[in-house]
Amino acid sequence: MIMTDQKPALTVDLGGTKIIAAVVLPGGKIISRNYCLTMADKGPEAVSDRILSAVDRAIAQAKLKTSELIGIGVAAAGILDTNRGIVTSSPNLPHWHNVQLRDILADKLGVVTYLINDASAAALGEHRFGAGMGFDNIVYLTVSTGIGGGIIIGGELYSGTDGCAGEVGHMTIEADGPQCHCGNFGCLEALASGWAVAKAAITCIDNGKKSSIIELVDGRLENITAETVAMAARRGDRLAADIVSEAAKYLGIGLANLVNIFNPELIVIGGGLSKMGDMLLKPARKVLKERAFRLPADTVRVVRARLGGNAGIVGAAAYVFAQRAETGAKA
């Protein structure tokens, strides 16, 4: 048994391709971690079974019993009704419509369970243990295959009425822009995400533009990713550099909107595209400065996230600890 002033939490990071289950102590230390493939195409019931298996293994690795957990926090992408613990829909989880994931896990495991958006969980993680420590007003963006976000106001997570707040990737940047996976047009995600960068490269090459990108994927256009484009840009490829610059411009417009609306002290950028570093963030910061009101633009800092793939895991745990404290849970 783990000796601590408070019971640990178990967290689940549910993604379209992988499931991570981990046991986390109140200070953010991860004491066990288990990984498996989601196999999302198998449907909600099969995925729920895989979650339960990963949870069992994580608990066993930590040498705990379920009764020794303070609670379970599940971080998932999509439109969630967090009050009722329902995944209403998720672009990463086909056939998931109004799945009562919280109750499914709570009933099977006999432990109080909470559902939280994955980007909101990452925002909490960075606020409690990462780049946002010491700041009260933060906006977190994960810029990866898609774009998500989380909002911290007055040191607390802002979830909105239904728990849907923070879907910053789906603010409209261009009214007549490309169609997003959500069905809308001109979303930030459709212009500055990983899939948008890859799609732009494929379209340009299909239209006859020359680029070393094609050599990096051995002529297989379907293998082009944002990482491929970034690699080519670093090597001086003009087309790749232009695509990254365009994505940075749109990201900067999105950041300017967030600055004008929320007036944050800090914007934390995580996700795979943040690894581009200043190639992406320097021009995005420039656009932010040009487009946002001067006072909040001068106040805000835009920094890279620190916790990487652990942000959602420790953030979901922080959410569990906070919720249990509110309800007067005893260790």
Distance CA 28, CA 49 (A): 27
Q: Residue 2: inside a domain, yes or no?
A: no
- What's the half-sphere exposure (Cβ side, CA atoms, 13 Å) at 16? 12
Q: Residue 260: inside a domain, yes or no?
A: yes
Q: How many domains does the chain have?
A: 2
Residue numbers of the domain that contains 51? 9-118+310-326
Same domain for 147 and 279, yes or no, is yes
Same domain for 141 and 63, yes or no, is no
Residue 1 is predicted with a pLDDT of 40
DSSP sequence for 240-259: HHHHHHHHHHHHHHHHHHHH
Same domain for 322 and 289, yes or no, is no
Same domain for 233 and 173, yes or no, is yes
Same domain for 152 and 264, yes or no, is yes
Average pLDDT over the chain, rounded to an integer:
94
Same domain for 146 and 59, yes or no, is no
Same domain for 48 and 160, yes or no, is no
pLDDT band at 5 (very low <50, low <70, confident <90, very high): low
What percentage of the chain reaches a pLDDT higher than 70?
Answer: 97
Q: Mind listing the pLDDT tens digit for each residue in 83-134?
A: 999 999 987 788 899 999 999 999 999 999 999 999 999 999 999 999 999 9
Residue 4 is predicted with a pLDDT of 45
Q: Residue 331: inside a domain, yes or no?
A: no
Q: Residue 4: inside a domain, yes or no?
A: no
Report the CATH number that the domain containing residue 57 is assigned in CATH: 3.30.420.40
Whether 331 has a pLDDT exceeding 60, the answer reads no
Same domain for 29 and 93, yes or no, is yes
Burial classification of residue 232, based on how many CB atoms lie within 10 Å of its CB (0-12 exposed, 13-18 middle, 19 or more buried): buried
Q: Residue 1: inside a domain, yes or no?
A: no
Residue 147 is predicted with a pLDDT of 95
Same domain for 294 and 154, yes or no, is yes
Whether 279 has a pLDDT exceeding 50, the answer reads yes
Same domain for 165 and 264, yes or no, is yes
Q: Residue 125: inside a domain, yes or no?
A: no
Whether 173 has a pLDDT exceeding 60, the answer reads yes
Same domain for 136 and 96, yes or no, is no
Mean pLDDT of all residues in 185-206: 97
